[in-house]
Structure 1
Amino acid sequence: MLHCPYCSTLTKENETYCMKCGRMLPEDRYHRLSSKPNFFTRWKSPILSTVILLFFVISLYITLEMRTAKAKDYYTKGEEKVLAQDFKTAQSLFQDALDMKDNFQQAEISLAFMNQALSMEQTLQKTEQLLKEKKYTQALEILNESEKGLQDYNGEAVNQMVERVTKQRNKINIEKLEHALKQKPEIDQLKVLLWDAVSIETEEAEQLTATIREQIVNYVFAKASEQLKNNQFSDGNLIVKDGLKYAPDSEKLLSLQTTIDKEKVAFETAQQSRIEQAMSTANKEQQMNESDAIKLKQMETTKDDQGNLVVKGQVQSVATIPINSIRVQYSITTNEGETLLTNEVYVYPEELYPEETGHFEFTHYDVNMNQALTAEVETIAWYTK
C-alpha cells in the first residue's frame, strides 16, 4: 500500500500531495512504498503502554501502603485494648488488621492469643461456678489445662493473664484447704494439708499454714507427752522428731524433746534416788529449791477452734538456782466433783532461772465439752540439776 514517507498516512496512487501533512509526494512509487515511520510514530504505543503500567504500579503501591498503614493502626489499637483486658474488641481489631494486610504475622499471633485469652476468660468464669459448688479438684483441672494454651505466648498481656490465672488458682486452693479443715482431718491429713498451704504464696495462705502447724504441734505434744508419762522415752522422742519435720522452730516441741532426753537419762540413772537425796538435805535454801521452788500463777481451761479441751497455765520459779524438767500434774473435774481424768504436762522453756515464768499447755481430744469442767493442779515436780 502507498503512504506518505513523511507522516505515514495512506495515500492514493494519483495523489500529488499528502492530505494530512500537505507535503509533495515523491513521483517514484518506490519511495512511497518504502517510507519509514518517524520516531514518535514508532515508539508511541510502547511509551503509552509504559506510562499506563507505571501509573498502575504507583497506584497499587500507594494503595498497599495505605492499607498497611491502616492495618498497623488497627494493630496498635488492638494492643491497647489487650492491655485494658478488653479482649473481645482487641480480637475484632486484629481481624481488621489482617483484612487490611495479608500475612501480617504479628496480627495473626495476636489474634490467636485473643482466641486463647477469651477461652481463658470463659474458664475463669467456669471455675467461679465450680467454687460455689465446692468442686475444687475439677476447677483446678480445667484451669491447669486451659493455662497450657498460654505457654506459646509471651509479653505484658500474657503476664497479666498468667497472674490472673495464678490468683484464681490460689483462691481455689485456699478455699479447698479451708473446707478440708472444717472436716476436722486426722493428723496424717493435716500433714498433707500443711504442704499444700506452704506452696501457696499469699498472706491468707500463711495464716492457714500457721493454723495447721499449730494443730500438728498440739497433737504431737499431746501424744509425745503421753509416751513420756509412761516412760516410753524412745517412742516419745520419735513422735517429737516427726513433728519437728512440720514445725522445726516450735519452741514447744524443742523444749519437750529436751525434757524427754533428760527424763530418759534421769530414769536410767536412778531418778528416784536423786530426788530422795535432794529432799533429805538439811539446807534451808536447798530445801526450798527442792520442795517449794515453783509457784502456780495461772491455770485455765478453754476450747480450741476444733472444740477440743485445752488446759493452759503459767508457773514462776521462786528458787535461787536454775530448775528444769518442770512437770505439772493436774486433774479435770465436773461441777459435781467427779474426776474425769488426770494428766501430766511439762513446762516450757525446759529450764527456768530465778523469777522467770514458764508456760504449760495441753490439748485433750475426745473430751465431752458439753459440761462445765475445772482443772486443778495436784502436784508440781522439777529438778535442780
Structure 2
Amino acid sequence: MLYCPYCGVQTKEEETYCIKCGKYLPEDRYNRLGNKPNIKRWRLPFLSSALLLLLFIAFYVTLEIRTAKAKEYYMEGEQKVLAQDYQAAQTLFQNALKLKDNFQHAEASLAFMDKAISIEATLQESKQLLKEEKYAKALESLSQSEKDLQDFNGEAVNQIVERITKERNTIKLEKLKHALQQEPDIDQLKILLWDATSIETAEAEQLSANIREQIVNFVFTKASEHLTNNQFNNANVIVKDGLKYAPDSEKLLSLQTTIDKEKVAFETAQQSRIEQAMTTANKEQQLNDSEAIKLKKIEITSDDQENLVVKGQVQNVATIPINSIMVEYIIKTNKGEEILTNEVYVFPDELYPDETGNFEFTHYDMNDKNQALRVEVKTITWYKE
C-alpha cells in the first residue's frame, strides 16, 4: 500500500497530489511505501521529553552544587564575622550571592558587613579625635554608629556594641579628667559627678568618689560658716543640697543634725547656751563641765587643690554623753603671727564616754598658702545631755 510521505494518508498509484494535504507526491513508489511519518510522530515527543528530563536533571544537580557551595561560603563568612574579620566576611557573602540568588541570610549578612566596616572605620577615627581632644565629635560619631545597628541583632552585633561602649567610656573618662584639670568650681563639680557616675569603669568610680569628697568638703565648709554666724536656714539649705550628691556622707548628716540642734537651742535658750559654754571653759568646775573633752591631735595640711585643711580628733573623757562640740582654733605662722581664727564642729554630733570624734575644715582662697603655718586650739565648747 502507498501512503503520502507528508501526512500519512493512503494514496493510489496513479495519484499525483495528496487528496488530504494537497502536496505533490513522489514519483518513486519506494518513497510512498509504509506509514513512515506516523513512526516519526511518536518518536519525536519521546525524544523531546527525554532531552528535557536530562536538561532538568543537569540543571537541578548544578543548582544543588551551587547552593551547597553558597551555603559553605555563608558559613565561612559567619565565622569570619565572629572573628571580626569583616573584609574577608564581606567577600565570602558576596561569593555566596553570586552562586545563589535570593539568598536572604547572605543578603542580610552582607548589609550588616557594610555597617560593620563603616563602624570599624568610625572606631579608628574616634581614637584620633580623642588624641585631638575633640570629645564631643567623637561621642557623636559613636552614638550614630550605635543607631546604625538598631536593625540588627545577634552575637556579632553584641561584639560591636561592646566595643562602642568601651570606646565611649574611654572618651568620657578622658573628657572628665581634662575637665578636672581645669580646677572646676562647685557647680561644675556637681555636673562632673553625674558624668563620672555614668561611666561604668573602676577608674571612673574612683574619680566619682574623689569628686564627691570635694563637694562634701566644700559644702561642709560653707555650711559651717553660716552656722557659725547663726544663719541656720542658709546652712541647712547648703547641707541638703550637698546630700543630693553624697546622701550617705556621715560628715554632712552629722552637720545637719548639729544645725537643727543649734537652731532650736539658739531660738529657745540663747542666753542659757552662752552661759553653759562659758561655764565649760572654767577650769575650776567639775570634770564634766570643764574637762569633758580631751584634744588628741590637731594638724594642718593641704588637699589636692592646695587648699589648707585643718584636721583633728577629740575624746569624751567625761562620764556623761556630750554633744554639739565646737572647736575654736587659730592658724599662725611659725613666727607667731596670727592668720585667722575659726570654729568647726566635731562629728559625730554626740559622743558617749571614751568615744572619739573628728573635725575637719577646708580653707579656700587663703593668701598665705606658701607660708609655714601651725594651728593651735583656742577653746572647745560643748553641751551636756
TM over 0.5: yes
Q: Tell me, yes or no, if the aligned pair for 1:81 and 1:90 is still in contact at 8 Å.
A: yes
Deviation at 1:43, TM superposition (A): 1.6
What is the aligned partner in structure 2 of residue 380 from structure 1? Answer: 380
Deviations 1:191-247 (A, max 9, x none): 111111122222222111111111110010000000001010010011101111111
What is the aligned partner in structure 1 of residue 163 from structure 2? Answer: 164
Q: State the one-letter code of the partner of 1:156.
A: E
Q: TM-score, normalised by structure 1?
A: 0.89
What is the aligned partner in structure 1 of residue 22 from structure 2? Answer: none
| Pair 1:192 & 2:214 matched | no
What is the aligned partner in structure 2 of residue 44 from structure 1? Answer: 43
What is the aligned partner in structure 2 of residue 218 from structure 1? Answer: 217
Of stretches 324-333 and 198-207 in structure 1, the one that deviates more from structure 2 is 198-207
What is the aligned partner in structure 2 of residue 80 from structure 1? Answer: 79
Q: Tell me, yes or no, if the aligned pair for 2:236 and 2:259 is still in contact at 8 Å.
A: yes
- Alignment partners' CA distance in 1, 2:285 and 2:108: 86
- Alignment partners' CA distance in 2, 1:130 and 1:278: 62
Deviation at 1:271, TM superposition (A): 3.1
- Residue 286 of structure 2: SS of its match in structure 1? helix
- Alignment partners' CA distance in 2, 1:4 and 1:238: 123
What is the aligned partner in structure 2 of residue 262 from structure 1? Answer: 261
- Alignment partners' CA distance in 1, 2:34 and 2:120: 82
What is the aligned partner in structure 1 of residue 295 from structure 2? Answer: 296
Deviation at 1:51, TM superposition (A): 1.1
Deviation at 1:37, TM superposition (A): 3.8
What is the aligned partner in structure 1 of residue 126 from structure 2? Answer: 127
Deviation at 1:366, TM superposition (A): 1.0
- Residue 245 of structure 2: SS of its match in structure 1? coil
CA 1:181–1:57: 2 relative to 1, 3 Å? same
When the two chains are superposed, the root-mean-square deviation of aligned CA atoms in Å is 2.6
Deviation at 1:182, TM superposition (A): 1.1
- Alignment partners' CA distance in 2, 1:188 and 1:278: 37
Q: State the one-letter code of the partner of 2:316.
A: S
- Alignment partners' CA distance in 2, 1:280 and 1:300: 27
Of stretches 38-47 and 210-219 in structure 1, the one that deviates more from structure 2 is 38-47
Deviations 1:11-59 (A, max 9, x none): xx99xxxxxxxxxxxxxx9999594348753321111111111111111
Deviations 1:121-167 (A, max 9, x none): 11111111111111111110111112211111000000110011011
Percent identity between the two aligned chains: 68
Q: Tell me, yes or no, if the aligned pair for 2:87 and 2:117 is still in contact at 8 Å.
A: yes
Q: Tell me, yes or no, if the aligned pair for 2:279 and 2:289 is still in contact at 8 Å.
A: no
Q: State the one-letter code of the partner of 2:52.
A: L
Moved over 3 A (4+): 2-6, 29-35, 37-41, 277-281
**Matching of residues 94-133 of structure 1 within 5 Å:** 94-133=93-132
Deviation at 1:168, TM superposition (A): 0.7
Q: State the one-letter code of the partner of 2:132.
A: E
- Alignment partners' CA distance in 1, 2:48 and 2:261: 110
What is the aligned partner in structure 2 of residue 21 from structure 1? Answer: none
- Alignment partners' CA distance in 2, 1:288 and 1:245: 41
- Residue 354 of structure 1: SS of its match in structure 2? coil
Q: Tell me, yes or no, if the aligned pair for 2:279 and 2:290 is still in contact at 8 Å.
A: no
Q: Tell me, yes or no, if the aligned pair for 1:296 and 1:314 is still in contact at 8 Å.
A: yes
**Matching of residues 225-264 of structure 1 within 5 Å:** 225-264=224-263
Q: Tell me, yes or no, if the aligned pair for 1:278 and 1:290 is still in contact at 8 Å.
A: no
Deviation at 1:287, TM superposition (A): 2.1
- Alignment partners' CA distance in 1, 2:135 and 2:273: 59
CA 1:319–1:39: 2 relative to 1, 3 Å? farther
Deviation at 1:337, TM superposition (A): 1.7
**Matching of residues 26-37 of structure 1 within 5 Å:** 35-37=34-36
- Alignment partners' CA distance in 2, 1:280 and 1:261: 23
- Alignment partners' CA distance in 2, 1:269 and 1:170: 54
Q: Tell me, yes or no, if the aligned pair for 2:3 and 2:35 is still in contact at 8 Å.
A: no
What is the aligned partner in structure 2 of residue 319 from structure 1? Answer: 318
Q: Tell me, yes or no, if the aligned pair for 2:276 and 2:383 is still in contact at 8 Å.
A: no
- Alignment partners' CA distance in 2, 1:111 and 1:321: 80
Deviation at 1:86, TM superposition (A): 0.9
Q: TM-score, normalised by structure 2?
A: 0.89
- Alignment partners' CA distance in 1, 2:295 and 2:269: 28
**Matching of residues 268-287 of structure 1 within 5 Å:** 268-276=267-275, 287=286
- Alignment partners' CA distance in 2, 1:280 and 1:312: 26
Deviation at 1:314, TM superposition (A): 0.8
Q: Tell me, yes or no, if the aligned pair for 1:5 and 1:31 is still in contact at 8 Å.
A: no
Residues matched between the structures, number: 364
- Alignment partners' CA distance in 2, 1:277 and 1:102: 96
- Alignment partners' CA distance in 1, 2:102 and 2:29: 63
What is the aligned partner in structure 2 of residue 174 from structure 1? Answer: 173
